[in-house]
Structure 1
Amino acid sequence: MIKTERLIMRPFNENDLDIIMNLYSNEEIMKHMPNDVMNVEKAQKHLYKVVGGWKEKPQVNFEMAVISKDDQKKIGRSRIHVNYETDTAMIGWLLLKEGWGKGYATEMTRALMDYSFDVLNVHRVCALCHPKNIGSWKVLEKCNMRREAHFIQKCKYVKGDKIMWEDELEYAILESER
């Protein structure tokens, strides 16, 4: 569990289908994500997978529900994926629209970075985002991550029966740069 001033990020459990559905069935939230919106069946499978990730040894996926301390509402999800061979953590997040523009993404990013460096003892933290997702890359830059790459048509986006190859930005920060 990771706590910030305004948020709690805790492991997903079987009772979190609501936040998965609210995030992954919303076309506006999923606009800059490679996968299509989910129906209930796909959301249940996804939830089963992320809950199971907490049982892996060694654990590489840390998928968490994000809860507002103010009203105890689930407002998003955060993720850390660790590659122990390279001592690298990949972080990411999704927020419901009511959480946009409130500084939650910045708060989550800083906490995910701190957890990755201080608890998981990685050397490097990175994050990926779509170039058109200006809000996300501004958050990463605000957290002192540097843009290391702009990959051309690297990410396969599947939206309905349509397949598109989209660009992807990679940001990173080293433990020594905090």
Structure 2
Amino acid sequence: MELSTSRLLLREFKEDDWHFTNLYESNEEVMRYQTSQVRTSKESLDYLLHCLEEAKEEPRTLFDLAIVLKTTDMLIGRVGMKVDHDAEEAVLWYILNQTYWNKGYTSEAAAALMRFGFEELHLHRIWADCDPRNIGSYRVMEKLGMRREAHFRENIFIKGSWCDSYIYALLDYEWRNQLEMKK
């Protein structure tokens, strides 16, 4: 599976991509709001191998794609969705190498995956969550046209403390309305 935008290629991971994923997975600032700890090289490889195996399931429920810059062929992050076919919804996530923050790559990649979710998978709802302290993440969600549905207080225990969560979502008809307004 490949998706393309003006600046990015979203593609399936390859086993040797762990070298690039570990560049951001070993960075404390990048991993600050993630549920997992900073990863070692072996942990990055193990995670990637697990994702590659899960992507083979039928029907496919995991779409975890490498974000690659077209100009340099550099892998700079990942964007993914876990699909619940029965509920016709998916949870969206993204993570990017800190060197490439604030350049619009995350929202560009996430928008392409959301388009795939609504157009190809015929999802009704795509949602995402983040720690309210992660301003960059919820700004991406807002840029994608998602609306905040909830602010859960201390609903998840991460890295030794209780954390809040923002929940953002977009429905299929809201997404289509946004496309119409852009025309």
* TM class by smaller structure: over 0.9
8 Å Cα contact 1:11-1:54 kept in structure 2: no
Shift of residue 102 of structure 1?
Answer: 0.5
Q: Is residue 164 from structure 1 mapped to residue 161 from structure 2 by the alignment?
A: yes
Report Cα offsets for 1:40-79 as digits up to 9, x if no partner: 2211210110111221111111111110011111110111
The structure with more helix, counted as a fraction of residues: 2
User: Which residue in the other structure is 2:180 paired with?
Assistant: none
Provide the alpha-carbon RMSD of the alignment. 1.0
For the residues of structure 2 that align with 1:80 and 1:145, how far apart are their CA atoms?
15
Partner SS state of residue 118, structure 2: helix
Q: Is residue 50 from structure 1 mapped to residue 46 from structure 2 by the alignment?
A: no
Q: Is residue 174 from structure 1 mapped to residue 171 from structure 2 by the alignment?
A: yes
Q: Report the TM-score, using the length of structure 1 for normalisation.
A: 0.94
Report Cα offsets for 1:151-172 as digits up to 9, x if no partner: 11122212xxxx2121111100
Structure 2: runs of 5+ lacking an equivalent: 176-183
8 Å Cα contact 2:7-2:69 kept in structure 1: yes
8 Å Cα contact 2:19-2:41 kept in structure 1: no
For the residues of structure 1 that align with 2:31 and 2:46, how far apart are their CA atoms?
18
Deviating above 4 A after TM superposition, structure 1's stretches of 4 or more consecutive aligned residues are: none
For the residues of structure 2 that align with 1:56 and 1:82, how far apart are their CA atoms?
12
8 Å Cα contact 1:53-1:62 kept in structure 2: no
For the residues of structure 2 that align with 1:78 and 1:146, how far apart are their CA atoms?
19
Q: After superposition, where does 1:5-84 map in structure 2 within 5 Å?
A: 5-84=6-85
Count of matched residue pairs: 174
